[in-house]
Amino acid sequence: MASLLRPLARTLAPRAVAGSSAGRRVAALPVPARRSLQTSAPLDPPGLGAEALAPPAAQAEHVLMQSLPKASAPVAAPGSLVHLKLSALHPMTKGWRKHFVPLSSHVFGIEPRRDVLHSAVVYYLDAQRSGTANTKTRGEVNFGGAKIRPQKGSGQARLGRRNNPLLRGGGVIHGPRPRDMSTKLPRRVRELALRSALSARWRAGDLVIVPNFTWDAPPRVTGELRRMLGSKGWDDALFLTAPRNPQSTGRVARPSASEPQYTPAQVRGHAKELANFVAAVNNIPRTELIELHELGAEQAAAKPKEVKKPGELHAYEVLRRRKLVCDLGAIEWLEEALGGAVWHPQAEADELAELNMDVESMLRELQAMQAAQSGEAEQVEQEEILDAADVLVEEAGVPRATRA
C-alpha cells in the first residue's frame, strides 16, 4: 500500500495537515453548487470556448504512477462549475462530441486531500483482510492426558503432557486467532476521500464521460470492444454506470449523501441497454464495471458479519485504475450521492443573475451611446437650420442677425 500511495504524494498538491488519524474530525468545506443532467441537456455553456472549458492535458501514466503536469488545474472556486468534453464509446454516439458536460465543483473540483486518501485506502484494505488465521492452544491439541515420563529417575527434565508448547507438535503460545480486521472510518471522511479521488482524476485528465454504454449484440463483441478500448487508451479503466434521472429522497437538511432512487422500469431499461457491454467487458482484463445503483442493494442483502467489502463506491476503486469512464447516469448518481444535487437550483440562479447583470450593463452602455449619438444629431440639425436661415437673410438683403 505504501508503494501505491508514495507516487500519489507527488501527484496531489501539497497541503499542511494537522494529522492523518481516521478518528479526527474533518473540517467542513464550503459547499459549492452542482449541475444536473435531469433538467438540461449537456450543451456548450454560452460564452465559453473549448480552450476555457477543457481540463488539463491528459497524462500518459496513472495518477498514482506519475506526478501531475507542472501547469495543473487550479482548484475551482466555491459555487462554480467545472466542465469536461463529452467523449464517444460507440460510433453511433459521435455526434455528442461537441458537447461539454458541466460538473459539480463540490464533487469534481476540490483540492485532493492526501491524508484523507491514505486513511480511506487503509480502511478499504483492512476490510479486505479475511482474518481467518488460527492456531491451536495446548488445550486444543489432540493428544492424550498421560504424562510422558516419570517425574524422577530418568535424569532428564520433568515433562507433563504431549501438548506442552515447548514440544514439537504441541500447542502454540499467543498464536493468531480468528478476528475481524476491519477498521472504522466516519462517513464524511469516506465521502471526502471519494470526492478527492474524483477531483484528482479530473485534474490529471483521466476522467472520461460518455453518453451511455450501448454496444453491439453478439457475435464479435469482445474483440471489437477490446481493440477500441486499446486505441483510446481505456484498456486499464473503471467503468461506472447508473440509470438516468435518479429520484432523490428529498433530504436537504445536510449537504451530504442522499441515496438516489430508481423505479423498477428504469432499472429494467438500463439493464437491457447495458447487457451487451457487460457481456463484452467481463472478458477483458484490467477492466471493471460497477453498476452504482446496485451497491446499496448488495449491502442491504448481505449479513453484517459477511460484509468485507464496503457497499459503496470507494476512493480506492477509483484510484487503482488508470482511467475512470462514466456515463451520464453515473455522473448524476455521483452528484446526487455526494451532496451536489441539493445546491443545483441555487447555482443556476446565481449564474442566471450574473448573466442578467452582464446583460443589463451592456444595455445601459448601449443606451448611453444612443443618447450621445442622438444629442450630436440634434446639434448638427440645429446648425444646419441656422445656416439655411442666414442664406435666406442674405438673399433678402436684410443685415445678418447675431447668432445666440
Domains defined for the chain, CATH in brackets: 2-15+22-130+180-339 (3.40.1370.10)
pLDDT in tens, 259-286: 788 889 999 999 999 999 999 998 899 9
What percent of the chain has a predicted confidence (pLDDT) above 90? 35
Would the pLDDT of 43 be above 60?
no
* CA–CA distances in Å: residue 157 to residues 153, 168, 221: 10, 16, 74
pLDDT of residue 368: 80
Would the pLDDT of 327 be above 70?
yes
pLDDT of residue 215: 87
Average pLDDT over residues 64-89: 61
> What region does 46 belong to: left with phi over 0, alpha with psi -120 to 50, or beta?
beta
Would the pLDDT of 20 be above 80?
no
pLDDT band (50, 70, 90) for residue 31: very low
Q: Compare 320 and 373 and report the one with higher pLDDT.
A: 320
pLDDT band (50, 70, 90) for residue 349: low
Average pLDDT over residues 220-233: 88
pLDDT of residue 339: 74
State the Cα torsion 261-264-266-268 to the nearest 10°: 140
Q: Which stretch of 9-18, 108-117, 152-161, 362-371 has the lowest confidence by average pLDDT? A: 9-18
- Does the pTM surpass 0.85? The reply is no
pLDDT of residue 111: 92
- Reading the block at residue 356, the C-alpha cell is 442578467
Average pLDDT over residues 20-39: 40
Average pLDDT over residues 185-192: 91
pLDDT of residue 346: 53
**Mean of the per-residue pLDDT values of the chain:** 74
User: Cell 473503471, residue?
Assistant: 238
Identify which of 269, 119, 278, 290 has the alpha carbon closest to the alpha carbon of residue 192: 119
Cα angle at 151 between 150 and 154, to 5 degrees?
65
Would the pLDDT of 303 be above 60?
no
